Amino acid sequence: MANDRFELNKNLAQMLKGGVIMDVTTPEQAKIAEEAGACAVMALERIPADIRAAGGVSRMSDPKMIKGIQNAVSIPVMAKCRIGHIAEAQILQAIEIDYIDESEVLSPADDVYHINKNKFDVPFVCGAKDLGEALRRIAEGAAMIRTKGEPGTGDVVQAVRHMRIMQSEIRKVVTMTEDELFEAAKTLRVPYELVKFVHENGNLPVVNFAAGGVATPADGALMMQLGAEGVFVGSGIFKSGNPAKRARAIVQAVTNFENPKILAELSEDLGEAMVGINEQEIALLMAERGK
Amino acid sequence: MLRNPLRGVLNMKLGIFALQGAFLEHRLAFEKLGVRTVEIRRRAHFTDGLDGIVLPGGESTVQGKLLREEGLLYPVKEAIESGLPVFGTCAGLILLADRLSNDGNVYFGVLRATVKRNAYGRQLGSFRTDLTVRGVGEFPAVFIRAPYIEETGAEVLASVGGKAVAVRQDKILATAFHPELTDDLRVHSYFCDIVRGKV
């Protein structure tokens, strides 16, 4: 049964592929996102750019606010809990959330342990900067992986870096001889079976999305070309001049990521993009939380 | 069409709608059966020479919206009504139905069926069960935030708890579950038989 649950949870992520998951803070935003073609929404009180600006400890959102969003849309609803915060995750499961993001965007509750996600029935998505992190999260029960990017910045450079590292490490594992896999498991600090899976299949055992800093249709297309199977957009939409139009454009860009002509049309006249912060200007690197 | 026991179904070409969702899983399943597949993302990809089309699982709201924006709804509906075989799973079933009981949208509207979206609730309601599919046999069925069929004028091939979850109407095959998520290719193979007019 437990194994069945993990398969079903992996399967839900498969259904999200080729889609865009959008951060929303109100039922109204959730509806805009759904109408624009979001394949799921992430319900949170403050989008990452505002969390970054506000500073202080950031926590799981108010369940009442999340329920409001669940009632507003028919697509899957995700919500974030703090890294290692078992009780927050239990609360989100109790309100029947479709996916929990154990997220570095919130303040970590545990600086050593992640949640043992195998103990839950609802699925988890976790961030990863490289193959080792991804496989460690999967061993803990994550049914979906995303890059960590640098949330709330509108700067895609870290998401690109994480995706590049991940893909390059996957390729390396694929070319290894069988004896080398044991050593790889040791250096990556992950179970041998997971390394073996990557070696045999050339991909992670779960779906892998891009997240962090995606702000334009071109950013979405870039991440898809680098091997992402779908895209999370956080602050990029509702921090921009025309959220509905930008959201629609990013959705179409993710479907047509290999078609520059269409991408050119989609990039026209979208209004103000979020201002963003360059990587070098950031005081707090959220991606460094939880390895 | 000829069937080569080693190479599968020769000369059959299926168009897999690749707007969003688990289209790759369908491609791989059909390719294992020796069927050629092409991805359809744009109006221009929907060409003559397709022996059938496949509507994959995913989010029906997203796929429906992209189909509409791309001007694909009408030409595809017309082609299905003229006899183009179509296989829809989960979101695909929703796109094919002529009525949704809990949603005002109708997309292709070619299948005589009233479908309830997210009929088993949220992800905690997703499940796997073995069921008997007429024409296929015992089958491991995976339901992910799945719909079911409340009423239908089509032939019911399988049911769960009194609700139809697989139906056939002429050359339209639709399931609420995801055969593409299992290694069992018999439902895909059954659709190939429909395309070839064998069943």
Ordered by where they begin, the domains of chain B are 13-196 (3.40.50.880)
Give B12-36 pLDDT, tens digit per residue: 999 999 999 999 999 999 999 999 9
Give A237-287 pLDDT, tens digit per residue: 988 889 999 999 999 999 999 999 999 999 999 988 776 777 777 777 787
Give B39-84 pLDDT, tens digit per residue: 999 999 999 899 999 999 999 999 999 999 999 999 999 999 999 9
Mean pLDDT across A11-20: 98
Mean pLDDT across B161-169: 97
- Residue A48 CB partners (closer than 8 Å, separation 6+): A23, A105, A151, A152, A234, A235, A286
Chain A: give the shortest CA distance to residue B34, in Å. Answer: 21
**Cβ-contact A245, A33 below 8 angstroms:** no
Give A24-51 pLDDT, tens digit per residue: 999 999 999 999 999 999 999 888 888 8
How far is Cα B198 from Cα B159, in angstroms, rounded to an integer?
A: 24
Write the Ramachandran bin of B71: left for phi over 0, alpha for psi from -120 to 50, otherwise beta.
left
pLDDT above 90 covers a percentage of chain B that reads 93
Residues of A in contact with B42 (CB under 8 A): 256, 259, 262
pLDDT the model gives residue B169: 98
Query: Is the complex ipTM higher than 0.90?
Result: yes
Inter-CA distances, B144 with A160, B113, B157, Å? 31, 20, 19
Using alpha carbons, select from A51, A60, A138, A126 the residue that is nearest to residue A95.
A60
In sequence order, the β-bridge partners of residue B154 are: none
Mean pLDDT across B156-171: 97
Q: What is the helix (H) or strand (E) element at residue A288, kind and residue range?
A: none
Give A155-177 pLDDT, tens digit per residue: 899 999 999 999 999 999 999 99
The reply to whether residue B59 touches residue A40, judged by beta carbons under 8 angstroms, is yes
pTM of the prediction? Answer: 0.94
The DSSP secondary structure of A202-226, one letter per residue, reads SS-SSEEEB-SS--SHHHHHHHHHT
Chain B positions contacting chain A at CB under 8 Å are 18-25, 41-42, 57-59, 61-62, 65-66, 69, 90-91, 102-103, 117-118, 121-124, 126-128, 142, 144-145, 178, 181
Mean pLDDT across B157-165: 97
**Cβ-contact A248, A37 below 8 angstroms:** yes
Residues of B in contact with A249 (CB under 8 A): none
- Whose tokens are 């154990």? That residue is A102
pLDDT the model gives residue B8: 54
Residues of A in contact with B66 (CB under 8 A): 37, 251-252, 255
Mean pLDDT across A11-33: 97
pLDDT the model gives residue A1: 46
Token pair, residue A239, equals 């921090």
Q: Is the pLDDT of residue B7 over 80?
A: no
How far is Cα B194 from Cα A103, in angstroms, rounded to an integer?
A: 47
Using alpha carbons, select from A70, A27, A24, A52 the residue that is nearest to residue A247.
A24
pLDDT the model gives residue A2: 59
Mean pLDDT across A104-119: 95
Give A120-149 pLDDT, tens digit per residue: 999 999 999 999 999 999 999 999 999 997
How far is Cα A264 from Cα A21, in angstroms, rounded to an integer?
A: 22
Give A185-223 pLDDT, tens digit per residue: 999 999 999 999 999 999 999 999 999 989 999 999 999
**Cβ-contact B158, B132 below 8 angstroms:** yes
Inter-CA distances, B16 with A58, A250, B198, Å? 43, 22, 21
B163: phi then psi, degrees, rounded to nearest 5? -105, 135
